[in-house]
Amino acid sequence: MTADPVALARELIRCRSVTPEEGGALAYLQGVLEKAGFTVHRTTFAEPGTAPVENLYARIGAERPNLVFAGHTDVVPPGDAAAWRHPPFAGEVEGGVLYGRGAVDMKGGIACFVAAALDHLAANGGKPKRGSISFLITGDEEGVAVNGTPKLLKWAAERGEKFDHCILGEPSNVEVLGDTIKAGRRGSLNGTLVVTGRQGHVAYPDRADNPIRGLAALIAALQAPLDEGSEQFDPSHLEFTSVDVGNATVNLIPGEARARFNIRYNDRHSQVALKTLIERRAEAAAGGRVRFAFEWQPSNADVFVTKPGPFTELAQGAIAEVTGRKPQLSTSGGTSDARFIKDFCPVLEFGLVGRSMHAVDECTPVADLVTLTAIYQRIIEKYLE
């Protein structure tokens, strides 16, 4: 192995790239990739009401297939830096463990796929064995994800870039490197249930209509199971996150009550069908006695699944060759940028072990960085065979 993923990861961690700050992370990658012969594009996307965000697209080779590695250099804030054993942006190694914000989510993953690509190029006279290798790196994944991957994909498509398969280097493993590939994600939908009554004095309830009664009945009805899961997904789930009346007066029956909820849904539903299902259930529970309405928030997090096939088998094979483990295909967890990439090419998520992500003392064993680099290298070799 020639390229050093640990050195790369440490350099990246030292860049304070808390969303939406670039923090020098993309500039550093640009330098490394240009030196290795990649054509590197830096693009800044902006939109009213959001912070402008820098992104990077790099490619070596002009032919297909084009194997894309995707990721994000932005990180969540460290919280109280004094609570960390090692400063969150120092990239210190102690006892064979690399500490720092982004160590696993996901500067470590980026360091490994960059190192793997550099090794592949070094072993093949500075070029991919065939086809192309690309990197799609955003600075806006942990934030609102508006000026990141969705716009970068659109920008690349408009330039005529074609992607054949993508590995997203998010921390996918649960306990040990090689245990899990993410092959899809649940959708996420937010809504608010609003029940309207009639305000009045608590001493004269017959003259008022308390919306809290109706809201309680509807909340109970909406918590019934949505399905029993599907071949590749757990059951969908609706969770109420806030119940709001905002009434500070002790002798007043309020005129309105609201409840917010989030639904994580599987591939048995589309967003439209799911809204209809929820509204019908509320209607049945209301029985014509409760006046209610739903406010749905727009969502760009639709459910998707990458069906098993040759690419999945190739990735599983490479992981098994290096680690001796056959990874399970999972669709659990929160959303990721894979929800956008899936519209352009099949995408699998495989990276480090996610246990410490977003936590104080985020860290990864150095040995995992070396192993993950070897896995990515094997994936590249097999793919560009």
Q: Taking CB under 5 A as the rule, which mask of x and - marks residues 30-69 in contact with Zn ion?
A: ----------------------------------------
Which residue, 5 or 148, has its beta carbon nearer to Zn ion?
148
- Is residue 105 at the binding interface for Zn ion, with CB under 5 A as the rule? yes
Shortest distance (Å) from residue 106 CB to Zn ion: 5
Q: Which of 140, 141, 142, 362 is catalytic?
A: 141
Which residue, 107 or 269, has its beta carbon nearer to Zn ion?
107
- Please tell me the distance from the alpha carbon of residue 113 to that of residue 378, in angstroms, as a whole number: 11
Shortest distance (Å) from residue 333 CB to Zn ion: 10
Can you state the percent helix, strand and coil of the chain, rounding each to 5?
A: 30, 25, 40
Out of 15, 36, 56, 106, the only residue in the binding site for Zn ion (CB under 5 A) is: 106
Distances 206 to 18, 162, 198, 215, 287 between C-alpha atoms, Å: 55, 67, 10, 18, 20
Q: Environment class of residue 201 by beta-carbon count within 10 Å: exposed (0-12), middle (13-18) or buried (19+)? A: exposed
Judge whether 267 counts as a catalytic residue. no
The secondary element (H helix, E strand) that includes residue 60 is strand 50-60
Shortest distance (Å) from residue 154 CB to Zn ion: 21
Distance of CA 293 to the CA centre of its chain: 31
Distances 163 to 131, 136, 383 between C-alpha atoms, Å: 11, 10, 13
Closest among 197, 194, 215 to 205, alpha carbons compared: 197
- Is residue 12 at the binding interface for Zn ion, with CB under 5 A as the rule? no
- Please tell me the distance from the alpha carbon of residue 44 to that of residue 346, in angstroms, as a whole number: 26
Residues 151-190 that bind Zn ion (CB under 5 A): 170
Residues in contact with Zn ion, total (CB under 5 A)? 3
Shortest distance (Å) from residue 170 CB to Zn ion: 5
- Please tell me the distance from the alpha carbon of residue 50 to that of residue 148, in angstroms, as a whole number: 11
Candidate segments 11-19, 32-40, 102-110, 316-324, binder of Zn ion by CB under 5 A: 102-110
Q: Which of 11, 22, 54, 74 is catalytic?
A: 74
- Is residue 98 at the binding interface for Zn ion, with CB under 5 A as the rule? no
Judge whether 74 counts as a catalytic residue. yes
Shortest distance (Å) from residue 72 CB to Zn ion: 6
Beta bridge partners of 35: none
Which residue, 25 or 285, has its beta carbon nearer to Zn ion?
25
Closest among 328, 327, 186, 322 to 262, alpha carbons compared: 186
Which residue, 66 or 335, has its beta carbon nearer to Zn ion?
335
Candidate segments 101-109, 117-125, 280-288, 342-350, binder of Zn ion by CB under 5 A: 101-109
Which residue, 71 or 214, has its beta carbon nearer to Zn ion?
71
Within 13 A of 259's CA, how many CA atoms are on the CB side?
23
- Can you list the alpha helix ranges (DSSP code H) found in 161-225? 211-222
Binding site for Zn ion (CB under 5 A): 105-106, 170
Q: Which residues are catalytic, by number?
A: 74, 141
